[in-house]
Amino acid sequence: MILNLEFDSDKAIYIQIKEQIIKAIAIGELKINESLPSVRGLAEEIGINLHTVNKAYNLLKDEGYITIDRRKGAIISNLPLKKSENDEVLIKEEIELLTSKSYLKGIKEEEFINICKDYFKKYGVKNYE
């Protein structure tokens, strides 16, 4: 797994790590029960503080994407993840904000929907079947 972090970005490094791991799972680059690098190992590889990696891993664990085992480390969870009511609310809020931004930037409805469809196809790899 290769992480492409933008250290000059306004987005925090731990958020970038979390988001890239989620995308890697969705695209099938990371498989169910696959181990992620250790917190210390990933921090050293990237050249960042281990607490930054630990924060990303804890968010991934809290959201159900990984499990953490004392002996095995961080492991990709079984898919599909269980969906809660809160997940649906959060996703709708994110979509609403993204739709608003797109509208304000002049992206037409059809173009927006086509972009969504393209990404859904890209990340629609069902590596859990």
Per-residue pLDDT tens digits for 38-68:
999 999 999 999 999 999 999 999 999 999 9
More confident residue, 126 or 89: 89
In percent, the amount of the chain with pLDDT more than 90 equals 74
Question: Looking at residues 22-28, what average pLDDT do you find?
Answer: 91
pLDDT per position as a tens digit, 78-92: 887 777 778 889 999
| Domain edges within the chain | 13-76, 85-123
> What's this model's pTM, rounded to 2 decimal places?
0.84
The reported pLDDT for the residue numbered 2 is 82
Give the list of residues 6+ apart from residue 102 with CB closer than 8 angstroms, or none. Answer: 112
The reported pLDDT for the residue numbered 126 is 59
Mean pLDDT value across the chain: 91
The reported pLDDT for the residue numbered 43 is 96
Which residue intervals of the chain are DSSP H helices? 13-27, 39-46, 50-62, 85-104, 109-123
Distance from C-alpha of 65 to C-alpha of 22, rounded to nearest angstrom: 7
For the chain, the residue count is: 129
pLDDT band at 125 (very low <50, low <70, confident <90, very high): low
Dihedral, 68, 3, 49, 12 alpha carbons, nearest 10: -100
Q: Which two tokens stand for residue 65?
A: 């994407």
CATH architecture of 13-76: Orthogonal Bundle (1.10)
